[in-house]
Structure 1
Amino acid sequence: MTQNQGSGLFLTFEGIDGSGKSSQCRLLAEHLRGLGREVVLTREPGGSEGAEEIRRLVLEGDPDRWSAETEILLFTAARRDHLERTILPALSAGKVVICDRFADSTRMYQGLSRGDLRATVDELHALMIGREPDVTILIDMDPETGLARAKGRQGTEERFEDFGLALQEKMRAGFLALADEFADRFRIVDGARDMDAVAADVVRIVEAELEQRV
């Protein structure tokens, strides 16, 4: 599986819980569709029928429901199905794929936060996924503010939020370190501002990338 398979653009959004990345994914999709672009808006875990079933397993229930090792296997299985059934077909058709989280979240939440398992995550990723995004937009956010936002949603998918502030602080530091490690594809956007201001920065980043591909 090659890195640049297909002619589309693969964009991912990352960030701690409550950073506003899901809203920014939606706003970007609306903007690009308004310009006449074909866009696939998707998410992880999920994005395909099988992956959505796995999503319910990993995001609901007690925080200690799964070990970190089991989570890595579940997330990788979901990602593989998502890649085969949604992402690669869309890219091959020349579409823009906007994905709310991808492998970088697994590198952080399972590889860093719950044990020294980053090497395991990367090995499985290389073996079973073999694809990185073209551009990753990191919505950076103060962990305390982000957690308050996330808990305020009062949904059922709060298993990781229930690990508390310490995890969110570790994740923010981890994502910023990951942005340094993969500086060629990461773009950092300050998420502490008005949603429209954040969206304007995101649009500038993505339109510049699209212009380079004309």
Structure 2
Amino acid sequence: MSSIADIRKDYKLKAFTEKEANKDPIEQFGQWWQEAIAAEIDEVNAMTLATATANGIPDARIVLLKEYDVNGFVFFTNYTSAKGHQLEENPHASLVFFWKELERQVRIGGIVERVSDAESDEYYNSRPEGSRIGAWASPQSQVIESREWLDAEDLKYREVFRSKPILRPAHWGGYRIKPTHIEFWQGRPSRLHDRLSYTKDGQGTWIMERLAP
């Protein structure tokens, strides 16, 4: 078997130039998103969410994008989870999409806010019953005694909601990352990748610049 240092891939599929890039990064994300959907990428909405504590200790995990528009990028979680506490302490976060089939990466950084209760209710009510029960049963990120304990909690809440609506728990809902920076990365041969970076200035205008790979 080759050593880890010998693992490499040369990227050759496409280029990404200023001429073809949209001046609005949200519109540009939409174009790449549609191409990723068309490529039938597995878990296309999976993204790395990076957060940090109040004193700057970083943390990261995979979450799922559930909505995006000009206002930002939305995901849902337990507000009392580790990431929920970190976002309350430090409302800044970064997202990374890696679509290897297209040799593309998108990095997004910005300020985080909770979505409205109405938005959280709408998405929660669209989830399968098991997922809605799970939001009640799982004290996300907390230490629990066993898998059996978790299964028992699941059964308990299934019984609780057997004859009444499964309403969204107050500790569960959505966050929106309002971007201040978005970078589009297209793999190129010899590690000379295309990187176009958009940064929002003080007047809310997006400034596009090319970064060295």
Greater relative contact order (Cα < 8 A, sep 6+)? 1
Q: Which has the higher helix share?
A: 1
Question: Do these two structures clear the TM 0.5 threshold for a shared fold by scoring above it?
Answer: no
Specify the structure having the higher radius of gyration (Cα). 2
Report the TM-score, using the length of structure 2 for normalisation.
0.27
